Structure 1
Amino acid sequence: MTVEKEVEERNPKSVLAVDLGIRWIATTVNSNNPKPKFYDKELRRVKGHYFYLRRSLALKKAYKTIKKIGNKERRVVNDILHKISRAIVNEALENDSMIVLGKLRGIRKNGKGRKFKRKLNNGFPYHRLSQFIEYKARWVGIKVIKISERNTSKTCHRCGHRGLRVGSLFKCPHCGYVCNADYNGAMNMLKRATGYMPIAGAGRALCPGLDTALNPVG
């Protein structure tokens, strides 16, 4: 059954940037508050569990069982994704934010390492999560835009120079800044997205707290 309703789009007063990744399926940063939120370790555990279970069953040639657990995995994963997307939309509602998502093209090309590629090929559900966030947001009148993620994981959000990702950390050899790599990506998404905000006065974006968000202390 399809349900439709007319929704008046809200006037955003801030930006909520959402960075999608492997270590954390989603990391958010709001222009009202530079402190990041991380979602959700449980999804990595579930995907890893079913990956090794399928591989074990394949060795036993238990193909009917593999199909059954595939259906169960999808239900479990969808439940987690609905909870994550609902939490992100609620965060946007609480802060009168528009939501910024990355265009997911090229994510396979950018990933390096066997573990990274195995998780992608195992169906890490970026597109599903993005779709869940988008339709939940639009249902309550929250504006959603999509922007390019190109180089957001490689650029230092503090100085703008190219840096290095080492495990879960981002390190900038130019300014010496070190932070969580997913946080760095989310901050770059936020900086890139602010150009989409409505303009007021002398060309300033309507982003309360943005100067603090883009230049956090410490």
Structure 2
Amino acid sequence: MKLTLSYYFRNDFEKINQVELGREFAYVSVTIRENPMIEPKAYLVVDRNTTGHIAVVGNPETGNVLKLRKSAEHIHRKYKNIRKHLQKKGKYRMVKKAKDRENRIEKDVNHKVSKKIVQEAKQNGMGIKLEYLNGIRNAKSSRNFRYPLNSWSFYQIEKMIEYKARLLGIPVVYVDPYNTSKECSRCGLKGNRSGKEFKCPGCGHVDNADANASFNIALRPVFEKGIDRLHADRDACKGSTDTHREATL
């Protein structure tokens, strides 16, 4: 083809698999060797959200909490209103363009959030813990909550975290999400959540609700991704809270 291309991706790939030429860009598929998996000293925990910050990252070793990108809900409500306005005017081609632009913005934000999470894990020599959220879109929810729940791509950001982490040899594991937002991360009792504030009637613990959820994720035992294992672990979690916590330490 005798083409000279300027590219901006890593230069340690093993081979070029495929090249596709578009009007403005060349799309190049390459093979990159994965690093061997590290033995993490602990796990960075990630609570993905539909309102407020997209992800809240907790470090159980230090107690530090990192809140990433608060724009998701605003982006979707903005483009939902734009599409509704265009549909009323019968401009269906513009509706599709608006949706495509929203998807591009979402993908860019998810790339940046996932990159930051993986970098944080790499710097601290830690693995990454996520909630197993398959099937969450079928969960019962209020009308106000349903739109952001079904429009922000939890799966997309999960896949981005997985492949970015795999390239750096960082293990990604999953836990049962059952009641992570309702239980107290200090004593395990069910608390009261009002907006982004969490209060425990048992021990009196008060915390940001997302931060409390992230530390609950840290306490959960790891399971392999599979619905049978999920149900088995969920049944086990319904037993004694103290027994559950001792098993995870």
Q: What's the TM-score, normalizing by structure 1?
A: 0.83
Q: Which of 171, 177, 184 is the equivalent residue of 1:156? A: 184
Displacement of 1:195 in angstroms is: 9.6
| AA in 2 matched with 1:151 | N
The corresponding residue for 1:126 is: 154
Contact 1:16 1:97 in 2 (8 A): yes
2:91 aligned with 1:58 = no
**Residue-by-residue CA offset, 1:19-41 (whole Å, 9 max, x unaligned):** 11122211111122212111111
| AA in 1 matched with 2:118 | V
- Residue 63 of structure 2 aligns to a residue in which SS? strand
| AA in 2 matched with 1:175 | C
In the alignment, structure 2 segments of 5+ residues that lack a partner are 1-28, 225-244
Q: Which of 185, 202, 205 is the equivalent residue of 2:213? A: 185
Displacement of 1:90 in angstroms is: 0.4
**Residue-by-residue CA offset, 1:153-176 (whole Å, 9 max, x unaligned):** 111111110112111111212222
In the alignment, structure 1 segments of 5+ residues that lack a partner are 197-213
Q: Which of 127, 140, 146 is the equivalent residue of 2:174? A: 146
Greater mean alpha carbon deviation, residues 38-47 or residues 64-73:
38-47
- Residue 129 of structure 2 aligns to a residue in which SS? strand
The corresponding residue for 1:105 is: 134
| AA in 1 matched with 2:129 | V
6 and 129 in structure 1: CA distance in 2 versus 1, 3 angstrom threshold: closer
Quick one: percent identity of the two aligned structures? Answer: 36
Relative contact order, CA 8 A, sep 6+: which one is greater? 1
- Give the Cα separation in 2 of the matches to 1:170 and 1:86: 29
Query: What are the within-5 Å matches in structure 2 for residues 3-152 of structure 1?
Result: 3-22=31-50, 23-108=52-137, 112-121=141-150, 123-152=151-180
**Residue-by-residue CA offset, 1:21-62 (whole Å, 9 max, x unaligned):** 122211111122212111111222222211111111122221
Contact 1:100 1:193 in 2 (8 A): no
- Give the Cα separation in 2 of the matches to 1:118 and 1:98: 31
195 and 33 in structure 1: CA distance in 2 versus 1, 3 angstrom threshold: farther
Displacement of 1:105 in angstroms is: 2.8
6 and 106 in structure 1: CA distance in 2 versus 1, 3 angstrom threshold: closer
Which runs of at least 4 in structure 1 moved beyond 6 Å after TM superposition? Answer: none
Larger radius of gyration: 2
Displacement of 1:83 in angstroms is: 0.6
- Residue 130 of structure 1 aligns to a residue in which SS? helix
Q: What's the TM-score, normalizing by structure 2?
A: 0.73
- Give the Cα separation in 1 of the matches to 2:91 and 2:182: 43
Give the superposed CA RMSD.
2.0
| AA in 1 matched with 2:162 | E
Contact 2:132 2:175 in 1 (8 A): yes
Contact 2:173 2:222 in 1 (8 A): no
Greater mean alpha carbon deviation, residues 183-192 or residues 99-108:
99-108
